């Protein structure tokens, strides 16, 4: 059984306060992006992860797909052993949520393939054990995310008529490190109050709090954002804690001559 897991971008990201559990209270808007990775599950004699495509750093045993299998195995001890085939197309450490998406879709695949009968609410409980944004990918519709990014409220937001250009530089930014660089600022207007305004006004209000410290450490990322605006983007931003940046362009207006050195690019219509 095969599934195709999408990416996401963040439209604004406010870091409001530290939490007692070590996370932070945030507010952001998750928007799904049609950039997919492939996951296949096959019954096997021993559970293993098989990777292809873009290499992943770190120990494969800690991969979120395997962790998704393990949290389900705890409650379903008769769950068969499996081979998980993951084909990576999205660079890791770019703030596009691909690891969380893969975990969420592994949960969905397990539920469907082995007819576990879990409801969306039950799947969400598993997803929240794996990552703050995992639950978003169970539905992949635009959402306002609060709490540590796990409290989701669907919003009516359609970006049809726009093309998206994502620029993934050849660098990996640690989310834990990025949070250490930010001073939380509470009591700000909700992003919901700005998302209904014309997109051309978003750059003044839909701010990603990670940008100031990350741009100070990695000025080349600030330069990419400047390039996106110079090329005609209506809105440009860092996604999550980076390192990917994206620009929203009126459909058909991305310049064909636009180039970024040593970066993976993805262009899609929304």
- Return the active site residues: 8, 133
Question: CA 151, 154, 157 angle in degrees (round to 5)?
Answer: 135
> Is 34 in contact with 127 (CB distance < 8 Å)?
no
Q: What are phi and psi of 33, to 5 degrees?
A: -125, 135
Nearest to 214 by CA among 15, 4, 57: 15
Neighbour tally for 166: CB within 10 Å = 23
> Is 128 in contact with 134 (CB distance < 8 Å)?
yes
How many whole angstroms separate alpha carbon 155 and alpha carbon 141?
8
């Amino acid at each position: 059984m095969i599934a195709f897991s999408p990416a996401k971008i963040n439209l604004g990201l406010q870091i409001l306060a530290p939490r007692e559990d070590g996370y932070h209270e945030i507010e952001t808007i998750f928007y799904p992006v049609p950039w997919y990775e492939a996951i296949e599950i096959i019954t096997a004699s021993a559970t293993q992860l098989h990777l292809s495509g873009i290499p992943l750093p770190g120990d494969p045993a800690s991969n979120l797909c395997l962790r998704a299998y393990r949290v389900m195995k705890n409650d379903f001890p008769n769950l068969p052993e499996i081979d998980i085939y993951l084909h990576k197309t999205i660079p890791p450490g770019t703030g596009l949520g691909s690891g969380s998406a893969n975990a969420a879709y592994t949960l969905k695949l397990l539920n469907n393939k082995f007819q576990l009968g879990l409801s969306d609410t039950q799947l969400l409980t598993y997803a929240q054990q794996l990552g703050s944004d995992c639950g978003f990918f169970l539905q992949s519709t635009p959402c306002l995310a609060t709490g540590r990014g796990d409290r989701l409220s669907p919003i009516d937001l359609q970006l049809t008529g726009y093309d998206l250009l994502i620029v993934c530089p050849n660098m990996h930014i640690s989310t834990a490190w990025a949070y250490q660089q930010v001073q939380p600022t509470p009591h700000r207007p909700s992003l919901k109050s700005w998302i209904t305004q014309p997109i051309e006004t978003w750059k003044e209000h839909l701010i990603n709090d990670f940008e100031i410290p990350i741009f100070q450490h990695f000025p080349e990322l600030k330069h990419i954002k400047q390039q996106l605006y110079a090329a005609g983007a209506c809105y440009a931003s860092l996604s999550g804690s980076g390192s990917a940046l994206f620009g929203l362009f009126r459909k058909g207006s991305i310049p064909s001559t636009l180039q970024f050195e040593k970066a993976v690019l993805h262009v899609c219509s929304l």
